[in-house]
Chains A and B, each alone.
Chain A
Amino acid sequence: MSVRCPMSKTLQITVTDEIAQQIKALMEVTGHERPGALINVLVRRYGQDLARCMSGDVLPTQDMRVQPSPVVSLPTPVNVPLPHGDVLSTQDIVPTSQDISPGTAFLAMDFET
């Protein structure tokens, strides 16, 4: 599949069945109707980790870890029913300030005088 990235570059992702299932689950959680739109949101919000897509690289799946940035607002928490009956709230994965790396915190600093 092809996904539009910032700066009008295109990211080629090889989607395995497992990833397709995960994308489908995320679409249900976030309400996206098209997988491309969802991935565009991921790229926009969490794009720092996907920066290599700018060069047109094919990203291995292990490089696709999502690390929320403090620069953007986080999605509204959603409760996700798990197969074994538990309910996972996405609020559980909202990062605290201690989870944010100093590098990301530096990029978010405002130096306006």
Chain B
Amino acid sequence: MTLTAQSIPLLSLASAKHTRLVSFENSNSFLKRHDSEGSLVIAAGHRENPSVHAHSDDENPIVILEGQRPRWYGARVCQGDHVSNSHRSKIETARESFAACLRPSDDGRDLIVIASHWDKPALEALKTSLLGQYSVTRNGVKIQCAVTQVIPTMEGLGSFHSAKSQLKEGKTLLIELGYGTAEIWFIDETGRIVDGAPVTRLGVINLVKAIADDPTVRALTQDNSGTVNLSAISQALQQDTLGKISAANWQALKAKYASEFLKDFQGYLRTQHANHLQSVSNLVLTGGGAALLSSIQPKLSQVFIVPTQPQTASVRGAYERQMSNV
């Protein structure tokens, strides 16, 4: 083939990678990403310098960011000793967490990132933290890309967009039930957040801790130091058993503590938001806790709208909302 002056621009165009839109949420417990290739969820804990036997994959990646020590992220590492993100600010961890979520297909691209946070004043800092060049080796694959633009958005709006087709006309109370905290958002008829706050007391970790304190669970799952692995309980909540506890007993334990958790949930809403509750047309329950609680207590679906795949509703919705504006 002979290259002519006219064909070069066309070839350049064909080989150039175009800018990609990515939705990203740096939760303390899960790193979430959504784009045209789908959703990715990674448990946020990590261990530095994993052994050669560490089994990595897309949801349990080994990540080297700009020559730092390798870190192994994901649910596998969270089953054992690991460093949790929960004691660090989301601004501080945003860049490294986003690096853990990069895909091989991001290599050579400019990325526009929709990043959500519950704290409105922190949105600008989140933007600054994420912007810039990334040079990452992830599961042995070198990825170089640049975040050229960050679109900060309030957490809650993405989930609201995910549930929008199921909503009646009127106001909405949206509860994003995460592991460490729950966020409660009041959204008016126009889709604008008018009030809301994170509530630590309603995070799923409170349910996990209550189960960990149960004498039966403690007797059967604690280690020699008397510690019960909360991550193991958290994972078992979505499964049929925990350690040596029979499936029937585990179901009964889950139902008992989920019931207490929901009563506390009711009590909180009754004392803090009774006025609002009378005037809302829609109750939306989303986040990882929504999937868990609605599976244990099916009654919730009588009053709550639970979007499909609630754990990723926020990042998916934020992405779709942005795409709908294009």
Contact A49–B304 (Cβ < 8 Å): no
Q: How large is the interface on B (under 10, 10 to 19, 20 to 34, 35 or more residues)?
A: 20 to 34
Contact A107–B275 (Cβ < 8 Å): no
A52 to B303, CA, bound (A): 25
Contact B283–A102 (Cβ < 8 Å): yes
Nearest residue in A to B255 (C-beta to C-beta)? Answer: A113
Contact A51–B259 (Cβ < 8 Å): no
Contact B266–A48 (Cβ < 8 Å): no
Contact A111–B278 (Cβ < 8 Å): no
How many chain A residues touch B (CB < 8 A): the figure is 16
Of the candidates A49, A111, A112, the one having the most CB atoms from chain B within 10 angstroms of its own CB is: A111
**A105 CB contacts on chain B under 8 angstroms:** 302-303
Flag whether A83 is at the interface (Cβ < 8 A).
no
Nearest CB in chain A: distance from B307 CB, A: 15
**A49 CB contacts on chain B under 8 angstroms:** 274-275, 278
Given known contacts A109-B303, A111-B297, A113-B256, A103 and B262 CB-to-CB distance under 8 angstroms:
no
Nearest CB in chain B: distance from A9 CB, A: 13
Flag whether B120 is at the interface (Cβ < 8 A).
no
Contact B259–A111 (Cβ < 8 Å): yes
Nearest CB in chain A: distance from B51 CB, A: 44
Within 8 A of A (CB), among B263-310: 263, 266, 269-271, 273-283, 297, 299, 302-304
A109 to B277, CA, bound (A): 14
Flag whether B123 is at the interface (Cβ < 8 A).
no
Flag whether B182 is at the interface (Cβ < 8 A).
no
Nearest residue in A to B256 (C-beta to C-beta)? Answer: A113
| Beyond A49-B278, A107-B270, 17 additional pairs, beta carbon < 8 A | A48-B275, A101-B277, A101-B280, A103-B173, A103-B269, A103-B273, A103-B279, A104-B277, A105-B302, A106-B266, A106-B269, A107-B269, A107-B277, A109-B303, A111-B262, A111-B263, A113-B256
Can you sample 13 A-B contacts with CB below 8 Å? A49-B275, A49-B278, A51-B274, A102-B283, A103-B173, A103-B277, A103-B283, A104-B278, A107-B266, A107-B277, A109-B266, A113-B252, A113-B259
